Amino acid sequence: MLQVKNLNKSFGQMQAVSNESFTVNDGEILGLIGQNGAGKTTTFRMILGLLKPDAGSVFWNGHPFTRKDQDIVGFLPEERGLYLKMTVEEQVVYFAELRGQKPAVTKQKLDDWMQRFAVKGKRTDKIKDLSKGNQQKVQLIATLIHEPKLVILDEPFSSLDPVNASLLEDGIERLKSQGSAIIFSSHDMGNVEKISDKLLMLRQGETVLNGVTNEIRESFGDTRIFIQSPLTAEELLAIDGVLSVKKYQNGFELKLANPEVGKAVFAAATKDGYIREFSQQPPTLDEIFRMKAGVSHE
């Protein structure tokens, strides 16, 4: 279990992270979201001990997280880097050895991992001869092959195509089921919504959202309706409490003043019986993200 308590870090005049706290339990995935410069990488670096926080502390299973705990970490930095002249095997073996896994063990596991991530290439291939996507996968294997208890992935989905992104999702889910505590950052809400149990959103170093993913959405109330009915946009907008109507696929997306308005919309839409879709939901994470990213915290 990773506990982060009241982390603060500033660079000169700029407050990079302020008063940040969160907990990631074993077998739990935390999605860290925020725009560029929100403090995601700084947060990771403080957890890893690469940066010293101005204040606050990081705990692992109740004790302060130190260099001694570094073997249980799997870290994928935002900027990827591999030794281009090494072979896939040498590279993975070296990184795993740095995390305390014996070369023989790594070599034994490597084929399985390469298969799981569908790496196109042999273990004797030089890294520089692999395609960018395959290099990325090798980097992921090098991050995860020692089965870390704490996994930190900085923008793991960036520049992955949907097929590979889902391979990565599988990989993360697998570690989760093995009981690893996982933190990853992303600016793609799709991935975050799909796999994270918890969510932390940063905006210029301030925590603007923090909690269980579903609860965060629920807290905004069921103020969105996706509807496909005989009603026109004008008719929908005329209902009291409907703030806006937007075209959405074959129907409309409505914003409501409060969840109660939903009942009136439902009654109006179903007055002639069957309708194809009526779904009342809280705002999507994407919407919350854009809402929060635009609004000042004060």
15 is a contact residue toward another protein (CB under 8 A) = no
Q: Which is nearer to another protein, 113 or 252 (CB)?
A: 113
* Residue 80 interacts with another protein (CB under 8 A): yes or no: yes
- Cβ atoms of 61 and 90 closer than 8 Å: no
* Stretch touching another protein by CB under 8 A, among 81-89, 211-219, 221-229, 246-254: 81-89
Residues 6+ apart with CB under 8 A from 214: none
User: Footprint of another protein on residues 126-185 (CB under 8 A)?
Assistant: 142-143
Applying CB under 8 A, which part among 25-33, 44-52, 116-124, 243-251 lies near another protein? 44-52
Please provide residue 80's backbone torsions phi and psi, each rounded to the nearest 5 degrees: -75, 150
C-beta closer to another protein: residue 46 or 216 = 46
Q: How far is the CB of 67 from another protein (least distance, A)?
A: 5
Beta strands across the sheet bearing 29-33: 73-76, 150-153, 181-186, 29-33, 198-203, 206-212
Closest CA to 240 of 273, 217, 263: 263
The size of the interface with another protein (CB under 8 A), counted in residues, is 26
Place of tokens 């889902």: 166
Q: Minimal distance in Å, beta carbon 16 to another protein?
A: 12
Separation of alpha carbons 247 and 230, rounded Å: 14
List the one residue from 26, 97, 188, 235 that touches another protein (CB under 8 A). 97
Amino acid at 26: D
Distance separating alpha carbons of residues 238 and 257, to the nearest angstrom? 13
Stretch 55-74: interaction string toward another protein, x if CB under 8 A: ------------x--x--x-
Residues of this chain that interact with another protein (CB under 8 A) are: 11, 45, 48-50, 67, 70, 73, 75, 77, 79-86, 94-95, 97-100, 142-143
